[in-house]
Amino acid sequence: MGFRGSLKVLLVCGLITGAGYVQAQEFDLDAAVAFALKNNPDLNAVQQQLNASSAQTEISRAGHNATLSVSHTARLSDNPLDAFADKLNTRQVIASDFNPELLNQPGSSDLYFTQLALRWPVYTGGRVSAMVEDAEQMEKNRRLQYQYARQKMVYSTSSAYLTILATEQALRIADDAVSAAKQHVKTTSKLASEGRIVESDKLAAEVNLAAIRSQREQAATRYRSALDQFKLVIGLPLNTEITLAAATVAAISDDKDVNEYSQYALVNRKDLAAARALTQAAKARVDAARSVRKPSIELVASSNWYDDTPGFDSQSSSIMGVLSFDLYDGKNTGKIDLALAQQREMQWQLQALEQSVQKQVRDAYNALLESRERLTLASDNVKTAQRTVQLIKQRYGQGRTILLDLLQAERLYTDARTEQLTASLNLDLARVALPLASGALSLAKMVTP
C-alpha cells in the first residue's frame, strides 16, 4: 500500500522559533504502544485501582491476626465504687476502709491506669475467611481488568497510529487531485482565451477545482484530528511535534473459523475472567452475611498497672475467652437477601458479557473478511480507473471527448484510491481487533520485520 513503506513518514515538521528548530518526537508502532502503556492517564488510574484492591486484601487478611494495644487512663472520681476499687487495684485496702461511713463518703479518688491488651479472634463463624476471599477475588478482578485495559490500549494506540498514516495518505491523494484540477483550470483558461474551447469548459474546470479544494480541506482537518487523537491516547501534550514510522500489521492466517475464535475468547478474555472473579467475590459476601448466625470466640489477655500517682507500682494480669452469639437481629435476614441478590446479579451480568464477547468476536471476524474482499476489489478498481483517466486524456487531447468526461474519470480515480486506502486501513484495524476480541492480543511486538 502507498502508506506502507520502510521509510519514516514525517507527519509534522519541527516548529521554527526564535531559538531555531524544535525536534519532533519520533515513534514507531512498538514505541508508541510502550509509551501509551506507561503514560496514558486512564490506564494509570486503573493501575491505582489495582493497588487499592491489593491494600484492601492485606487489610482483610489481617482480620485473622491478633491485635496488641496499649492505653493509659487518668481518672478522678468521688463515686464510692470507683474509690473502693482504686484501693483494691493499688493494693492499699486497710481495715478502716470497711467503715460504712468511709464506704459511703469516700471523698475524691484519683487513679492512673495503664493496660497492655492482646485480643485474638479464634473463631468468627467464617466471617473473616469470607471477607478475605471477597477481597482476594476483588483484587483478582482489578488485576484482570488492568490487564484487559492494557490490551485495549494496544488496540487504541494501534488504531490511532494507523489512522494517522491513512489520513496522511488521504491528504496526499487530495493534493494530487488539487494539482490535476489546477492544471485543468490553467489549460482551459488558455484555450478559452484563444477561442479554441467554449467558456463553459473553463467554468466547469473552475467549479471542479473549488469542489476538490473543499475536499482537500476536509482531508487536512481529518489528518489534524487524527494527530490530536493519537497524542491523547498515548498521553502526549497536544502541542508536541511527532514523527511516525510506517507500519505493517502482521496478517492473520485462515486456519481458524469464527467458532474457534469464539471458544478461545470464552476461555482467555481477561474481562470475562474478571467478571468471573466478581461472581466469586459476591459468593464470599453471601458467606460473610450468613456468618452472623454463627457464634464467635475471642481470646483476650491483658496486663494492667494501677497507681494513685503516675507510675507502675501495682500490676495485675488477666486472660479470658469470650463466646458470643447473636440470638436475634432483624437486620441479618435483609443483609443475607441483599448479598444473594447481588450474587445473582453478577451471574446474570457474566452471562450477558459472555454473549457480548461472542458477538464482538463475530463482528471482528466478519470485518476482517469484508476488509480483505474490499481491498482486493478496490486494488483492481484503482488500476482500471487509472487506465480510464489515461485513455480519456488521450481522447480529450485529440478533441474526441469533452472536459466533463475527463473530470468525471479523475473523480472516479480519486474515489477508487480513497476506497483502496479505507479498505487497507480497515484490514489493519481488523487484524488487531480480532486478537483483542478473542483474548489473544499480546503486548509483545505486533509489527512484522
pLDDT at 238: 95
**pLDDT tens, position by position, 210-260:** 999 999 999 999 999 999 999 999 999 999 999 999 998 989 988 899 999
Please indicate whether residue 5 or residue 438 has the higher confidence score (pLDDT): 438
What is the residue-averaged pLDDT of the chain?
89
Q: Are 315 and 304 in contact (CB under 8 A)?
A: yes
pLDDT at 307: 87
pLDDT at 383: 96
Using CA atoms in the order 305, 310, 311, 314, what is the torsion angle rounded to 10 degrees?
A: -40
**pLDDT tens, position by position, 380-393:** 999 999 999 999 98
Angle at 420 between CA 214 and CA 36, to 5 degrees: 85
Residue 418, Cβ density class (10 Å: 0-12 exposed, 13-18 middle, ≥19 buried): buried
**pLDDT tens, position by position, 307-317:** 887 777 788 89
Q: What is the mean pLDDT of residues 418-434?
A: 96
Cα dist from 227 to 25, 35, 220, 254, 289, whole Å: 13, 15, 11, 33, 52
Element (H, E) at 207: helix 199-234
pLDDT at 220: 97
pLDDT over 90 at 400, yes or no = no
Q: Fill in the amino acid letter for 191.
A: L
Sequence-ordered list of residues with C-beta below 8 angstroms from that of 330, at least 6 positions apart, any chain:
none
Longest CA span, the chain: 140
DSSP state of 447: B
pLDDT over 60 at 326, yes or no = yes
Residue with cell 489493519: 428
Q: Are 381 and 416 in contact (CB under 8 A)?
A: yes
Range list of β-strands (E), 278-334: 296-307, 314-324
Q: Are 332 and 162 in contact (CB under 8 A)?
A: no
Cα dist from 432 to 154, 317, 335, 368, whole Å: 9, 69, 45, 10
Q: What is the mean pLDDT of residues 166-188?
A: 94
Q: Are 304 and 316 in contact (CB under 8 A)?
A: yes
Q: What is the mean pLDDT of residues 312-326?
A: 87
Sequence-ordered list of residues with C-beta below 8 angstroms from that of 198, at least 6 positions apart, any chain:
192
Cα dist from 316 to 113, 159, 304, 322, 446, whole Å: 11, 73, 5, 20, 71
3-state SS class at 83 = helix
> How do the domains of the chain map onto residue ranges?
8-438
Backbone angles phi, psi at 203, to 5 degrees: -65, -40
> What would the grid cell of residue 118 be?
492482646
Lowest mean pLDDT among 2-6, 26-30, 156-160, 276-280: 2-6
pLDDT at 444: 53
pLDDT at 242: 95
> What would the grid cell of residue 164 be?
494517522
Backbone angles phi, psi at 23, to 5 degrees: -70, 135
> What would the grid cell of residue 180 be?
490535476
Rounded Cα distance between 10 and 21, Å, is: 15
How much of the chain exceeds pLDDT 70, in percent? Answer: 93
Among 289, 299, 267, residue whose Cα is nearest residue 123? 299
Residue with cell 487504541: 156
> What would the grid cell of residue 26 be?
519520533
CATH number corresponding to 8-438: 1.20.1600.10
Confidence of residue 101 (pLDDT cuts 50, 70, 90): confident
pLDDT over 90 at 261, yes or no = yes
pLDDT at 117: 93
Length in residues, the chain: 449
Q: What is the secondary structure of 113-155 as a DSSP string?
A: EEEEEEEEEEE-TTHHHHHHHHHHHHHHHHHHHHHHHHHHHHH
Q: What is the mean pLDDT of residues 126-134?
A: 93
Q: Are 302 and 318 in contact (CB under 8 A)?
A: yes
